[in-house]
Amino acid sequence: MADRNTGMLGLIAAQQEVGHYQELLWEGKLVDYLDMVKRNPGIARNAYQRLFDLVESYGFDEYTEYKKTIRRYKFFTDPFDDGADAIYGIDVHLMKLVRVLHAAALGYGPEKRVLLLHGPVGSAKSTIARLFKKGLEAYSRTNDGALYTYAWKTEDGEVPCPMHEDPLRLLPDAVRPAVLAEIGEGKYPLRLEGDLCPVCRFMWRQAMRDCDGDFVRMQEQIIVRRMVLSEKDRVGIGTFQPKDEKNQDSTELTGDINYRLIAEYGSDSDPRAFNFDGEFNVANRGIIEFVEVLKLDVAFLYDLLGASQEHKVKPKKFAQTHIDEVILGHTNEPEFMRLQNNEYMEALRDRTIKVDVPYITKPSHEARIYAKDFNRRKVAAHIAPHTVEMAALWAVLTRLEVPSNHKLTLIQKAKLYDSRHVPGFTEDHVKELRKTAKREGLSGISPRFIQDKISNALVRDPDIKCLNPFMVLNELESGLSHHSLISNEDDRERYREMLGDVKAEYENLVKNEVQKAIAADEGALARLSGNYIDNLRAYVLKERVKNTFTGQAEEPNERLMRSIEEKIDIPDSRKDDFRRELMNYIAALSLDGKKFDFTKNERLHRALELKLFEDSKDSIKLTSLVSQSMDAETQKKIDIVQTRLIEQHGYCDVCSRDVLQYVASIFARGDAQAED
């Protein structure tokens, strides 16, 4: 027989947590449980309190955006499944959702409502619900999230509580106040609401008769045990999804009679002949998710009203039964609008807290969704830089409202939302843009469409070595023709025009990147910077500059200074102001004992790069790539630029060559137009 500590068995044994497994199987008496609750009242938390504590347990980061402090709860980065369900770009809306949970945990009212996640298709509503369910499962396995239920000892074996109720419910009404006072309060006031489920009421009465009304003796017939929430095992987590009305009735929510057991127990009103296995029953102590909740038949909505407001459900043949669970639904825009317009649904509207879950309106956060998705799949082809970013930018553009300020383009608006600098606009402008855009993020292209088209582009050519932005953008354009959710031809045409804007944006981006790669000689940049600063100082101080070659004192080189300043759009009328400001900045650094570093001045650094590129491009002869004919010296310089693109910008051999040829064709067109 193989040694337990070697080979595959050894590997399995090393991964086991036998001690933790035994903790999850803990069993004891009711008195043991009461002692535990006295030491830690948090064990007896209700469902909302447990869910809020779960989210808080992972902590949060705070950052300031548009002069507003925002919390980014780490729970929503999906710490359970390697980030597979991580949510980006809607921190404000998630923060509002957590506030609702907090208020519900404190018993301020939201615990008597249906939490309704509202937003367009593919906006992460189901992902939020899935995270809550995964989180509760994991939390119930920890010491902080431990919770307990009980079973009855009988001559025929054990009878578990079918609704996994808290053992505190077993306390007679008369003794509850005294016991709760003895336990005291923890983080939350300890409340004991509701009665036992029908099965446990039956068992409790029978046990009390057997013990002549002595509760102390009766509790010997009770086994308290640790419970672990599990959607697969239908313990504490339920999911309900609308189906064909002919094949679905309300018993799927509240349970149904077990006709096989009626003969054994003699009556269909005996609780032992009833299956308390409806979704409301199994979700007790945890959470129930209603998928597309507003598509439910009216009969189901009546059950929902009582479950939310009174925390009670009505099983067939039995009295109302208390439940303790978070009721979470989600719906799309058309169903929600139908609810708003239906005067007969006022009761449901009044018992609903709507939390918007819109599309992302920040391109960089949208790109993280696609990058995460395709990084996890480990695709064979290399994805060229900016491929995902350009697809994300287009998706965001389709969701934004056209700005009323004619000086602001839609792409500039997307950049502002992404906290990028746009000349002439401040944070106050962004706040105003957000305020005036009432329905931004509630329409447009879904992330699923983008993911599908990136997938199509990856498999279209089996020999593809590298996926570039144009392949994806072309796939998106062809997909627009048969997009099932676009019924308005004007919208379809507008989205096509946006693709053109994105291609122009990509063209500018790669031009700048190639320019940086060509002008990446730090030594040459430093020399050019030193030359510019020497002439600048002489100009401002009205001095002459020593020519290092001839040794003669000369006037400052106005042509050199203007050739650099023009690269960052400094007009001739503003050159004196710009030069004085820069000189004052350099002087202030010198007084502090610091040396001026041109790389720390973004505008000057960019101007120097563009100047060096202009001086270098003729010697490199980039346009010769278009004709495929170049001498060995030019090829060597091109190889250096290509290596810089690979090492500094993430290109591969294929896409670095492609992008150089593409930029070369742009310059070739520009040269041809200049000659005309």
Instruction: Report d(CA 658, CA 666) in Å as an integer.
Output: 13
Q: 602-620 and 632-649 helices cross at what angle (nearest 10)?
A: 150
CATH number reported for the structural domain that contains residue 126 in this entry: 3.40.50.300
Instruction: Report d(CA 335, CA 292) in Å as an integer.
Output: 8
Higher pLDDT, 621 or 357: 357
Distances (CA, A) of 83 to 60, 380, 392: 16, 21, 19
Higher pLDDT, 563 or 340: 563
Q: Which residue, chain included where needed, has tokens 């706040």? A: 431
- Residues 48, 49, 52, 57, Cα dihedral to 10°: -150
Q: State the pLDDT at residue 184.
A: 86
**Is the domain of 530 the same as that of 456?**
no
Residue 434 pLDDT > 70 = yes
Higher pLDDT, 569 or 396: 396
**Pair of tokens at residue 367:** 């790109």
Q: Which of 334, 358, 382 is the endpoint of a domain?
A: 358
Does residue 163 form part of some domain?
yes
Q: State the pLDDT at residue 281.
A: 95
Q: Which of 342, 358, 374 is the endpoint of a domain?
A: 358
Residue 266 pLDDT > 90 = no
For 188-243, the pLDDT digits (tens) are: 988 888 899 999 999 999 999 999 999 999 989 999 999 999 999 999 999 998 77
Higher pLDDT, 559 or 623: 559
Distances (CA, A) of 510 to 242, 384, 386, 480: 49, 12, 9, 26
Does residue 432 form part of some domain?
yes
Tell which residue, 284, 288, 299, 202, has the closest CA to residue 246.
299
**Is the domain of 558 the same as that of 623?**
yes
Parent domain of 597: 518-675
Most confident option among 62-76, 92-106, 559-573, 625-639: 92-106
Q: State the pLDDT at residue 672.
A: 45
Cα-Cα end-to-end distance for the chain: 87
Q: State the pLDDT at residue 247.
A: 63
Q: Which of 504, 537, 564 is the endpoint of a domain?
A: 504
At a CB cut-off of 8 Å and minimum separation 6, what does 474 contact? 457
Which residues make beta-bridge pairs with 27?
225
Does residue 241 form part of some domain?
yes
Side-chain half-sphere CA neighbours of 80 within 13 A = 17
φ, ψ of residue 130 in degrees (nearest 5): -65, -40
At a CB cut-off of 8 Å and minimum separation 6, what does 293 contact? 114, 116, 304, 329, 330, 331
Does residue 400 form part of some domain?
yes
Does residue 381 form part of some domain?
yes
Which residues make beta-bridge pairs with 70?
63
**Is the domain of 97 the same as that of 208?**
yes
Does residue 5 form part of some domain?
no
Residue 457 pLDDT > 70 = yes
Side-chain half-sphere CA neighbours of 225 within 13 A = 18
Which residues make beta-bridge pairs with 11?
none
Give the count of beta carbons closer than 10 Å to the beta carbon of residue 6. 10
Average pLDDT over residues 71-99: 92
**Pair of tokens at residue 391:** 């697809």
pLDDT mean across residues, the chain: 87
For 11-64, the pLDDT digits (tens) are: 666 666 777 778 899 999 999 999 999 999 999 999 999 999 999 999 999 998
For 612-666, the pLDDT digits (tens) are: 877 766 555 555 554 555 667 777 878 888 898 999 889 999 999 889 888 888 8
Q: State the pLDDT at residue 618.
A: 58
Q: State the pLDDT at residue 660.
A: 86
**Is the domain of 335 the same as that of 434?**
no
Task: Give the count of domains, the chain.
Answer: 3
Residue 671 pLDDT > 70 = no
**Is the domain of 374 the same as that of 351?**
no
Distances (CA, A) of 200 to 149, 160, 275: 12, 9, 13
**Is the domain of 313 the same as that of 422?**
no
Instruction: Report d(CA 539, CA 533) in Å as an integer.
Output: 10
Higher pLDDT, 600 or 11: 600
Q: State the pLDDT at residue 135.
A: 96
**Is the domain of 354 the same as that of 384?**
no
Instruction: Report d(CA 253, CA 325) in Å as an integer.
Output: 13
For 385-398, the pLDDT digits (tens) are: 999 999 999 999 99
**Is the domain of 380 the same as that of 327?**
no
Residue 440 near residue 401, CB atoms below 8 Å? yes
Percent of the chain with pLDDT over 90: 50
φ, ψ of residue 480 in degrees (nearest 5): -60, -30
Which residues make beta-bridge pairs with 114?
352
Q: State the pLDDT at residue 1.
A: 45
**Is the domain of 484 the same as that of 615?**
no
Average pLDDT over residues 537-541: 90
Rama region for 353: left / alpha / beta (φ>0; ψ in -120 to 50; rest): beta
Does residue 513 form part of some domain?
no
Instruction: Report d(CA 183, CA 601) in Å as an integer.
Output: 64
Residue 132 near residue 328, CB atoms below 8 Å? yes
**Is the domain of 488 the same as that of 567?**
no
For 119-146, the pLDDT digits (tens) are: 999 999 999 999 999 999 999 999 999 9
Longest CA span, the chain: 118
Residue 152 near residue 158, CB atoms below 8 Å? yes
Residue 676 pLDDT > 50 = no
For 232-249, the pLDDT digits (tens) are: 999 999 999 877 666 667
**Is the domain of 352 the same as that of 368?**
no
**Is the domain of 177 the same as that of 111?**
yes
Least confident window among 3-7, 254-258, 490-494: 3-7
Percent of the chain with pLDDT over 70: 92
Q: State the pLDDT at residue 391.
A: 96
φ, ψ of residue 288 in degrees (nearest 5): -120, 130
Burial class (CB in 10 A: 0-12, 13-18, 19+), 467: buried
Higher pLDDT, 631 or 69: 69
Give the count of beta carbons closer than 10 Å to the beta carbon of residue 537. 17
Does residue 223 form part of some domain?
yes
Exposure string over 291-301, b if 16+ CB within 10 A, otherwise e: bbbbbbeeebb
